[in-house]
């Protein structure tokens, strides 16, 4: 009888199977595609009804958006600030860009004092181009 040698079982594989790596790459790509728009979204606000749609001639680089929650949180560029800090930052940006427009998105069920506190601070520091955002698609009651 012939004996089988152990040498054949010790041969190393020189090929790497990349199929699992490609599967992982596609899964990560899909996850990033789905989560990226969610990260760029501001606060979940219910804007008051009314107003009209924006004119297409506005330059998106001139617009800064501030969200005001029902609890009085002021969110700007993914961070929360006090009204005084926020007003100072926007004043500095207006100094660099005179065409700056500040959009304020405030929840319709929020307390008016949070919105007026921000408007007052912006007025004190001299930020002049302010627009309170509404939902033009909502029906007025």
pLDDT above 70 for 41: no
Chain-centre distance of CA 66, in angstroms?
11
Q: What percent of the chain has pLDDT over 90?
A: 27
pLDDT above 80 for 12: no
**pLDDT number for residue 136:** 73
Give 49's strand partners. Answer: 135
**pLDDT number for residue 134:** 80
Q: What is the mean pLDDT of the chain?
A: 81
Residues of the chain with CATH 3.30.420.270: 60-132
Reduce the DSSP state of residue 32 to 3 states and report it.
helix
pTM: 0.63
pLDDT above 80 for 16: no
Pick from 67, 88, 84: which is nearest to 76 by CA?
A: 67
Instruction: Classify domain 60-132 at the CATH topology level.
Output: Nucleotidyltransferase; domain 5 (3.30.420)
CA 13 vs CA 4, 7, 8, 9: distances in Å: 20, 13, 11, 11
């Amino acid at each position: 009888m012939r004996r089988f040698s152990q040498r054949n079982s010790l041969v190393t594989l020189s090929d790497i199977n990349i199929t699992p790596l490609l599967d992982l790459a596609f899964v990560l790509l899909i996850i990033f595609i789905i989560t990226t728009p969610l990260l760029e979204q501001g606060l979940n606000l219910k804007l008051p009804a009314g107003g009209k749609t924006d004119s297409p001639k506005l330059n998106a680089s001139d617009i800064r958006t501030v969200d005001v929650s029902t609890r009085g949180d002021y969110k700007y560029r993914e961070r929360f600030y006090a009204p005084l800090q926020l007003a100072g930052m926007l004043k500095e940006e207006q100094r660099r860009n005179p065409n700056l427009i500040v959009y304020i998105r405030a929840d319709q069920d929020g307390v008016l004092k949070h919105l007026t506190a921000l408007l007052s601070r912006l007025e004190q520091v001299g930020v002049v181009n302010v627009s309170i955002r509404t939902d033009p698609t909502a029906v007025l009651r």
